[in-house]
Amino acid sequence: MNALSAGLVPAMVISLSAHAEVKGIGEYGFIIENRVQVATSPEVSWSALVNDVGKWWPGDHSWFGKAENFSIAASAGGCFCEISGENQVQHMQVEVVQPPGLLRMTGGLGPLQSMGLYGALDWKLSGTDTGTEIVLTYKVHGFNPEGFKELAPIVDHVQGLQLGGLKDYLSADGPTK
């Protein structure tokens, strides 16, 4: 079982309140988008996104098995990293920080990194009458000899899990509204 298929089974369960969509698939990449609504303000949602990633990121989507090893240095050039003692992974690099509206990171998450694929991951937070809409968009490009028709929906599901983890954290255990 490879890393992609290992993550496929749990990735098939996504909150029914999340909206997931493969926006496009081409010869050299794909675009996916997931969105959720939360009852917290954009400022509280932003704080949870960047300061509490180790509390909401799914631990089974990590290199070392523990979500608490994750951190986001929310500054240009900062690291979305996972550190467990001497074992370290830079999952992505922070490119744009515009609190509380936009966090952009670049790189390849999970098996995309070892496949040599690269992407821009945008977390967009917008205030609504009832809280915040969070839209997670991942634009991935590179060459995959098998194409992207099967890969894009898998990545979309995993992104849904990650965004769902943030939503669950903000809804149940997370910071006050």
Q: How confident is the model at residue 173 (pLDDT cuts 50, 70, 90)?
A: low
Q: What per-residue confidence (pLDDT) applies to 15? A: 39
Please tell me the class of the 3-173 domain.
alpha beta
Instruction: Decide: 76 and 94 in contact? Cβ < 8 Å.
Output: yes
pTM: 0.87
Residue 134's SS3 state is strand
For residue 86, give every residue at least 6 positions away whose Cβ sits within 8 Å of its Cβ, in sequence order, or none. Answer: none
Mean pLDDT of the chain: 89
**Measured distance between the N- and C-terminal CA atoms of the chain, rounded to whole angstroms:** 42
User: Tens digits of per-residue pLDDT, 28-85?
Assistant: 999 999 999 999 999 999 999 999 999 999 988 889 989 999 999 999 999 999 999 9
Q: Can you give the pLDDT at residue 99? A: 98
